[in-house]
Amino acid sequence: MPLPADALIAREKLTEYLLQWRSEDDKSAFLAQAGYTLENAGRLMADIREQLMPLDAELVENTDYGAKFSLAGVLTGPNGRTLRVVTIWMTEEATGQTKFITLYPYKT
């Protein structure tokens, strides 16, 4: 099932987590391979919306907070390189709002 078009992607998830170097569980180096940086965080947000959100998401589990979904696909970055990724989303039970949680490399 596709995610709702109005799903929320908090800019802080990108700028303070995914695109920020971290000593543990760093994702910024992975995303940099396709040209994603703090300076073009808006491009990452747009690419997630345009390239991944139209794909079908799969229900992972129902939690006390809401339904958790996984969506796997390919992101083509600003430099033309592609990355296979998995994104995690949650539709909050309390609000009904679907929110972006994280992104990580797709491992086969």
Q: Give the integer Cα–Cα distance in Å for 104 and 106.
A: 6
Q: What pTM does this model have?
A: 0.94
Q: What is the dihedral of CA 95, 91, 1, 41, to 10 degrees?
A: 110
> What are the sequence ranges of the domains in the chain?
11-105
Q: Is the pLDDT of residue 81 over 90?
A: yes
How is domain 11-105 classified at the CATH fold level?
Nuclear Transport Factor 2; Chain: A, (3.10.450)
Q: Is the pLDDT of residue 1 over 90?
A: no
Evaluate the CA torsion angle 79, 58, 14, 84 in order and state its sign. Answer: negative
Q: Is the pLDDT of residue 79 over 90?
A: yes
pLDDT digits (tens, 9 = 90+) for 29-70: 999 999 999 999 999 999 999 999 999 999 999 999 999 999
Residue 63, token pair as written in the block: 């939690």
State percent of the chain over pLDDT 90: 96
